[in-house]
């Protein structure tokens, strides 16, 4: 039914991936340039941690998440996970070909483009970090939300068609 409405939803996973340990949880949303999106819930022991602390936990979790770091080790140049990768390759032909770092300070907050590096960002319980490759727009909702929205829109369209026929 989604095809009838012209909707296409590309998702890489249906549920968040949980890693780490501790009483506080931050969220990391990855949007790769090929459309794959992943939502990680990262538990941590001491509040606050940093955006880079969330990335370090993902790398050490043994799930195949990796980065290539530049400069002093705090700048993320490449992120790879589950066969998807994005590597900084800025040029005049591809000016957006790098990782854009977005943040939101709680589940109900709006996404804002970060004005500090991940190493300098304090992350508290329920904060979100979004990494978007190749475009400067805010991260898309985590995949489950995108799927639910598409199903809801498709259901409304079907209901409306039936109502018109009657």
The pTM of the full predicted model, rounded to 2 decimals, is: 0.76
What distance in Å separates the CA atoms of residue 141 and residue 158, rounded to the nearest whole number? 24
> What are the structure tokens assigned to 61, written together?
């979790």
CA 26-83-68 angle, 5° bins:
65
Encode the chain (166 residues) as per-residue pLDDT tens digits. 444 444 343 444 459 999 999 999 999 999 999 999 999 999 999 999 999 999 999 999 999 999 999 888 888 999 999 999 999 887 888 888 999 999 999 999 999 999 999 999 999 999 999 999 999 899 986 544 445 455 655 666 666 666 677 6
């Amino acid at each position: 039914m989604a095809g009838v409405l012209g909707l296409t939803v590309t998702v890489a996973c249906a549920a968040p991936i949980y890693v780490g340990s501790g009483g506080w949880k931050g969220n990391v949303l990855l949007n790769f340039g090929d459309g794959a999106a992943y939502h990680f819930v990262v538990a941590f022991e001491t509040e606050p941690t940093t955006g880079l602390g969330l990335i370090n936990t993902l790398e050490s979790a043994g799930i195949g998440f990796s980065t290539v770091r530049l400069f002093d080790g705090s700048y993320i140049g490449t992120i790879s996970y589950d066969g998807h990768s994005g590597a900084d390759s800025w040029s005049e032909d591809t000016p957006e070909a790098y990782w854009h770092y977005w943040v939101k300070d709680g589940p109900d907050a709006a996404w804002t483009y970060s004005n500090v590096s991940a190493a300098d960002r304090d992350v508290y319980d329920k904060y979100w970090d979004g990494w978007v490759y190749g475009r400067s727009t805010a991260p898309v909702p985590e995949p489950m939300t995108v799927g639910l929205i598409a199903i809801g829109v498709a259901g409304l369209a079907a209901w409306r068609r039936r109502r018109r026929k009657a």
